[in-house]
Amino acid sequence: MLSIDLTGKRAFIAGVADDGGFGFAIAKALAEAGASVCVGTWPPALGIFQTLLRRGKMEASLALSDGRKLEFERIVPLDAEYDVLDQAPAEVRENKRYKDLGDFSIQGAADRLRAELGEACLDIVVHSLANGPEVSKNLLATSRKGYLGAVGVSAYSLVAMAQRLGPLVRPGGSFLSLSYMASERVFPGYGGGMSSAKAALESDTRVLAWEAGRKWGHRVNCISAGPLASRAASAIGVVPTEAGAPKPKPFIEQMVDYARVNSPLPVALEAAEVGSVAAFLASPLASGITGCVIHVDKGYHAMGKAVTD
Protein backbone atom coordinates (compact mmCIF):
# COMPACT_ATOMS: atom_id res chain seq x y z
CA MET A 1 0.00 0.00 0.00
CA LEU A 2 1.30 3.44 -0.93
CA SER A 3 1.38 5.67 2.14
CA ILE A 4 3.09 8.78 3.46
CA ASP A 5 5.83 7.61 5.80
CA LEU A 6 7.99 10.21 7.54
CA THR A 7 9.27 7.92 10.26
CA GLY A 8 12.70 9.06 11.43
CA LYS A 9 12.31 12.51 9.86
CA ARG A 10 12.44 15.76 11.80
CA ALA A 11 10.61 18.95 10.85
CA PHE A 12 11.06 22.56 11.90
CA ILE A 13 7.94 24.70 11.42
CA ALA A 14 8.38 28.44 11.77
CA GLY A 15 5.25 30.31 12.75
CA VAL A 16 3.24 28.14 15.17
CA ALA A 17 1.73 29.97 18.14
CA ASP A 18 -1.72 28.39 18.54
CA ASP A 19 -3.82 25.49 17.30
CA GLY A 20 -5.90 27.41 14.79
CA GLY A 21 -3.73 27.97 11.73
CA PHE A 22 -2.08 26.17 8.86
CA GLY A 23 1.23 25.82 10.72
CA PHE A 24 -0.37 23.76 13.49
CA ALA A 25 -2.32 21.67 10.97
CA ILE A 26 0.91 20.92 9.11
CA ALA A 27 2.59 19.96 12.40
CA LYS A 28 -0.20 17.46 13.09
CA ALA A 29 -0.07 15.98 9.59
CA LEU A 30 3.70 15.52 9.76
CA ALA A 31 3.39 13.91 13.19
CA GLU A 32 0.62 11.62 11.91
CA ALA A 33 3.07 10.45 9.23
CA GLY A 34 5.70 9.70 11.86
CA ALA A 35 7.90 12.80 11.89
CA SER A 36 9.14 14.54 15.02
CA VAL A 37 8.26 18.24 15.08
CA CYS A 38 10.06 21.34 16.34
CA VAL A 39 8.46 24.77 16.04
CA GLY A 40 9.56 28.38 16.05
CA THR A 41 7.22 30.79 17.85
CA TRP A 42 7.05 34.58 17.83
CA PRO A 43 8.30 35.78 21.25
CA PRO A 44 5.24 37.89 22.18
CA ALA A 45 3.08 34.78 21.73
CA LEU A 46 5.53 32.24 23.13
CA GLY A 47 4.59 32.51 26.80
CA ILE A 48 0.86 32.11 26.17
CA PHE A 49 1.46 29.19 23.81
CA GLN A 50 3.64 27.36 26.32
CA THR A 51 1.16 28.05 29.13
CA LEU A 52 -1.74 26.62 27.11
CA LEU A 53 0.30 23.50 26.39
CA ARG A 54 1.44 23.13 29.99
CA ARG A 55 -2.08 23.50 31.40
CA GLY A 56 -3.58 21.03 28.95
CA LYS A 57 -5.81 23.58 27.24
CA MET A 58 -4.97 22.18 23.79
CA GLU A 59 -5.34 18.47 24.53
CA ALA A 60 -8.18 17.95 22.05
CA SER A 61 -6.27 19.71 19.27
CA LEU A 62 -3.11 17.71 19.97
CA ALA A 63 -4.82 14.32 19.66
CA LEU A 64 -3.72 12.25 16.65
CA SER A 65 -5.90 9.75 14.83
CA ASP A 66 -4.06 6.70 16.17
CA GLY A 67 -4.43 7.70 19.80
CA ARG A 68 -1.03 9.35 20.08
CA LYS A 69 -0.59 12.99 21.03
CA LEU A 70 1.34 15.64 19.12
CA GLU A 71 4.42 16.43 21.19
CA PHE A 72 6.71 19.27 20.16
CA GLU A 73 10.31 18.12 20.39
CA ARG A 74 11.50 21.74 20.68
CA ILE A 75 9.77 25.13 20.89
CA VAL A 76 12.25 27.77 19.78
CA PRO A 77 11.77 31.55 20.11
CA LEU A 78 11.81 33.06 16.64
CA ASP A 79 11.24 36.59 15.39
CA ALA A 80 11.75 36.32 11.63
CA GLU A 81 12.17 40.08 11.28
CA TYR A 82 15.79 39.62 12.37
CA ASP A 83 18.38 37.49 10.59
CA VAL A 84 20.86 37.94 13.46
CA LEU A 85 20.40 39.25 16.99
CA ASP A 86 22.37 42.44 16.39
CA GLN A 87 19.66 43.61 13.96
CA ALA A 88 17.10 43.79 16.79
CA PRO A 89 16.95 47.25 18.35
CA ALA A 90 17.66 47.63 22.04
CA GLU A 91 14.00 48.30 22.89
CA VAL A 92 13.09 44.92 21.42
CA ARG A 93 15.92 42.99 23.08
CA GLU A 94 15.08 44.58 26.43
CA ASN A 95 11.33 44.03 26.11
CA LYS A 96 10.01 41.71 28.84
CA ARG A 97 8.78 39.21 26.24
CA TYR A 98 12.23 38.99 24.64
CA LYS A 99 14.96 39.69 27.16
CA ASP A 100 15.18 36.25 28.78
CA LEU A 101 14.91 34.22 25.56
CA GLY A 102 18.49 34.44 24.34
CA ASP A 103 19.01 34.73 20.58
CA PHE A 104 15.54 34.87 18.99
CA SER A 105 16.76 35.66 15.47
CA ILE A 106 16.70 33.24 12.52
CA GLN A 107 20.41 32.60 13.04
CA GLY A 108 19.72 32.05 16.73
CA ALA A 109 17.12 29.41 15.94
CA ALA A 110 19.56 27.64 13.62
CA ASP A 111 22.32 27.77 16.24
CA ARG A 112 20.01 26.41 18.93
CA LEU A 113 18.84 23.51 16.78
CA ARG A 114 22.41 22.68 15.82
CA ALA A 115 23.63 22.80 19.42
CA GLU A 116 20.78 20.70 20.81
CA LEU A 117 20.09 18.26 17.98
CA GLY A 118 23.31 18.00 16.00
CA GLU A 119 24.79 19.28 12.76
CA ALA A 120 22.54 17.51 10.23
CA CYS A 121 19.39 17.45 12.30
CA LEU A 122 16.49 18.38 9.98
CA ASP A 123 14.67 16.92 6.99
CA ILE A 124 11.74 19.31 6.60
CA VAL A 125 11.50 23.08 7.01
CA VAL A 126 8.13 24.84 6.86
CA HIS A 127 7.79 28.62 6.54
CA SER A 128 4.38 29.52 8.00
CA LEU A 129 5.17 33.18 8.56
CA ALA A 130 3.22 36.23 7.43
CA ASN A 131 2.97 39.66 8.95
CA GLY A 132 2.29 43.11 7.56
CA PRO A 133 2.32 45.98 10.04
CA GLU A 134 -0.05 47.94 7.79
CA VAL A 135 -2.12 45.06 6.41
CA SER A 136 -5.34 46.91 7.19
CA LYS A 137 -4.37 49.79 4.86
CA ASN A 138 -4.91 49.99 1.12
CA LEU A 139 -1.71 49.85 -0.92
CA LEU A 140 -2.04 53.54 -1.79
CA ALA A 141 -2.02 54.33 1.94
CA THR A 142 0.88 51.98 2.79
CA SER A 143 4.17 53.54 3.85
CA ARG A 144 7.56 52.41 2.59
CA LYS A 145 8.34 51.07 6.07
CA GLY A 146 5.10 49.10 6.23
CA TYR A 147 5.56 47.69 2.73
CA LEU A 148 9.15 46.62 3.33
CA GLY A 149 8.16 45.21 6.72
CA ALA A 150 5.56 42.97 5.07
CA VAL A 151 7.98 41.76 2.41
CA GLY A 152 10.79 41.25 4.92
CA VAL A 153 8.88 39.07 7.39
CA SER A 154 6.55 37.35 4.92
CA ALA A 155 8.93 36.67 2.02
CA TYR A 156 12.60 37.42 2.65
CA SER A 157 12.50 35.36 5.82
CA LEU A 158 12.17 32.25 3.61
CA VAL A 159 15.45 33.19 1.93
CA ALA A 160 17.08 33.80 5.33
CA MET A 161 15.80 30.46 6.64
CA ALA A 162 17.11 28.63 3.57
CA GLN A 163 20.51 30.28 4.03
CA ARG A 164 20.81 29.34 7.67
CA LEU A 165 18.87 26.07 7.92
CA GLY A 166 19.84 24.64 4.53
CA PRO A 167 23.13 23.27 5.89
CA LEU A 168 21.24 21.59 8.78
CA VAL A 169 18.88 19.75 6.44
CA ARG A 170 19.93 16.28 5.35
CA PRO A 171 20.23 15.64 1.58
CA GLY A 172 16.87 15.29 -0.12
CA GLY A 173 15.23 17.68 2.33
CA SER A 174 12.04 19.65 1.78
CA PHE A 175 11.36 23.37 2.24
CA LEU A 176 7.76 24.55 2.10
CA SER A 177 6.08 27.95 2.42
CA LEU A 178 2.47 29.17 2.43
CA SER A 179 1.07 31.71 0.01
CA TYR A 180 -2.33 33.11 -1.01
CA MET A 181 -3.89 33.89 -4.36
CA ALA A 182 -3.55 37.63 -3.72
CA SER A 183 -0.12 37.11 -5.27
CA GLU A 184 -1.91 36.66 -8.61
CA ARG A 185 -5.24 38.51 -8.33
CA VAL A 186 -6.58 41.68 -6.72
CA PHE A 187 -8.25 41.18 -3.34
CA PRO A 188 -9.43 44.60 -2.11
CA GLY A 189 -8.74 44.80 1.60
CA TYR A 190 -5.68 42.54 1.54
CA GLY A 191 -3.32 45.46 1.87
CA GLY A 192 -0.16 46.79 3.40
CA GLY A 193 2.04 45.20 0.73
CA MET A 194 1.00 41.67 1.67
CA SER A 195 -0.04 40.82 -1.89
CA SER A 196 3.42 41.94 -3.06
CA ALA A 197 5.02 39.83 -0.33
CA LYS A 198 3.15 36.73 -1.47
CA ALA A 199 4.17 37.36 -5.09
CA ALA A 200 7.81 37.64 -3.96
CA LEU A 201 7.47 34.47 -1.89
CA GLU A 202 6.28 32.50 -4.91
CA SER A 203 9.03 33.90 -7.14
CA ASP A 204 11.63 33.09 -4.50
CA THR A 205 10.27 29.53 -4.31
CA ARG A 206 11.31 28.95 -7.91
CA VAL A 207 14.75 30.53 -7.54
CA LEU A 208 15.47 28.77 -4.26
CA ALA A 209 14.40 25.45 -5.79
CA TRP A 210 17.19 25.90 -8.35
CA GLU A 211 19.82 27.14 -5.91
CA ALA A 212 19.06 24.86 -2.95
CA GLY A 213 18.55 21.93 -5.28
CA ARG A 214 21.95 22.32 -6.88
CA LYS A 215 23.72 23.19 -3.62
CA TRP A 216 22.23 20.65 -1.21
CA GLY A 217 19.73 18.51 -3.09
CA HIS A 218 16.79 20.10 -1.27
CA ARG A 219 13.35 20.64 -2.77
CA VAL A 220 11.48 23.95 -2.34
CA ASN A 221 7.73 24.26 -2.87
CA CYS A 222 4.86 26.52 -1.88
CA ILE A 223 1.20 25.92 -1.08
CA SER A 224 -1.22 28.63 -2.16
CA ALA A 225 -3.99 27.96 0.34
CA GLY A 226 -7.54 29.17 0.30
CA PRO A 227 -8.73 31.56 3.01
CA LEU A 228 -9.00 30.30 6.59
CA ALA A 229 -10.50 32.22 9.49
CA SER A 230 -7.50 31.72 11.77
CA ARG A 231 -6.58 34.03 14.62
CA ALA A 232 -3.73 35.52 12.61
CA ALA A 233 -6.00 36.23 9.62
CA SER A 234 -8.29 38.35 11.78
CA ALA A 235 -5.78 41.20 11.39
CA ILE A 236 -6.63 41.57 7.69
CA GLY A 237 -8.58 44.75 6.98
CA VAL A 238 -12.15 45.23 5.77
CA VAL A 239 -13.37 46.49 2.43
CA PRO A 240 -14.63 50.11 2.80
CA THR A 241 -18.43 50.48 2.65
CA GLU A 242 -20.71 53.42 1.95
CA ALA A 243 -21.68 55.69 4.81
CA GLY A 244 -24.70 54.38 6.69
CA ALA A 245 -24.33 50.84 5.35
CA PRO A 246 -24.53 47.96 7.84
CA LYS A 247 -21.26 46.97 9.42
CA PRO A 248 -19.77 44.17 7.29
CA LYS A 249 -18.49 40.81 8.49
CA PRO A 250 -14.78 40.67 9.33
CA PHE A 251 -12.86 40.63 6.06
CA ILE A 252 -11.47 37.13 6.52
CA GLU A 253 -14.99 35.78 6.99
CA GLN A 254 -16.06 37.54 3.78
CA MET A 255 -13.15 35.89 1.98
CA VAL A 256 -14.05 32.44 3.33
CA ASP A 257 -17.72 32.81 2.38
CA TYR A 258 -16.97 34.15 -1.10
CA ALA A 259 -14.47 31.41 -1.89
CA ARG A 260 -16.84 28.75 -0.60
CA VAL A 261 -19.81 29.69 -2.78
CA ASN A 262 -17.73 30.36 -5.90
CA SER A 263 -15.42 27.33 -5.89
CA PRO A 264 -15.85 24.15 -7.92
CA LEU A 265 -16.06 22.34 -4.58
CA PRO A 266 -18.46 24.66 -2.69
CA VAL A 267 -17.34 23.85 0.85
CA ALA A 268 -15.04 25.78 3.14
CA LEU A 269 -11.38 24.77 3.20
CA GLU A 270 -10.16 22.99 6.33
CA ALA A 271 -6.67 23.51 7.70
CA ALA A 272 -6.15 19.75 7.83
CA GLU A 273 -6.44 19.60 4.03
CA VAL A 274 -3.44 21.90 3.71
CA GLY A 275 -1.64 19.81 6.31
CA SER A 276 -2.16 16.65 4.26
CA VAL A 277 -0.73 18.23 1.11
CA ALA A 278 2.23 19.53 3.11
CA ALA A 279 2.94 16.01 4.41
CA PHE A 280 2.83 14.67 0.85
CA LEU A 281 5.20 17.36 -0.43
CA ALA A 282 7.61 16.61 2.43
CA SER A 283 7.61 12.89 1.70
CA PRO A 284 9.54 10.72 -0.76
CA LEU A 285 6.31 10.43 -2.76
CA ALA A 286 6.94 13.99 -3.95
CA SER A 287 10.64 13.52 -4.71
CA GLY A 288 10.11 14.77 -8.26
CA ILE A 289 8.29 17.97 -7.26
CA THR A 290 10.20 21.21 -6.67
CA GLY A 291 9.83 24.86 -7.61
CA CYS A 292 6.04 24.52 -7.64
CA VAL A 293 3.17 26.55 -6.22
CA ILE A 294 0.37 24.08 -5.41
CA HIS A 295 -3.15 25.50 -5.01
CA VAL A 296 -5.10 23.97 -2.15
CA ASP A 297 -8.29 26.03 -2.31
CA LYS A 298 -11.15 23.77 -3.46
CA GLY A 299 -10.40 24.86 -7.02
CA TYR A 300 -11.20 28.54 -6.52
CA HIS A 301 -8.04 29.60 -8.40
CA ALA A 302 -9.44 28.03 -11.60
CA MET A 303 -12.54 30.22 -11.71
CA GLY A 304 -12.78 33.19 -14.06
CA LYS A 305 -16.30 34.34 -13.16
CA ALA A 306 -18.14 34.55 -9.88
CA VAL A 307 -21.20 32.37 -9.46
CA THR A 308 -22.59 34.63 -6.73
CA ASP A 309 -21.34 37.40 -4.46
Measured between alpha carbons, how far is 10 from 71 in angstroms, rounded to an integer?
12
Tell me how many degrees the CA angle 180-183-188 measures, rounded to the nearest 5. 85
82, 98, 147, 190: which is the annotated catalytic residue?
190
Helix, strand or coil for residue 147?
Answer: helix
**Phi, psi torsion values for 14, nearest 5 degrees:** -90, 120
Range 247-254 contact pairs with CB under 8 angstroms and sequence separation of 24 or more: 251/189, 251/190, 252/227, 252/228, 253/229, 254/189
Q: Which of 82, 147, 156, 180 is catalytic?
A: 180
Could you confirm whether 190 is annotated as catalytic? Answer: yes
**Nearest by Cα to 88 from 76, 102, 75, 74:** 102
Distance CA 82, CA 75 (A): 18
180 given a catalytic annotation: yes
Proportion of the chain in helix, strand, coil states, percent, rounded to 5 = 45, 15, 40
Point out the residues that are catalytic.
180, 190
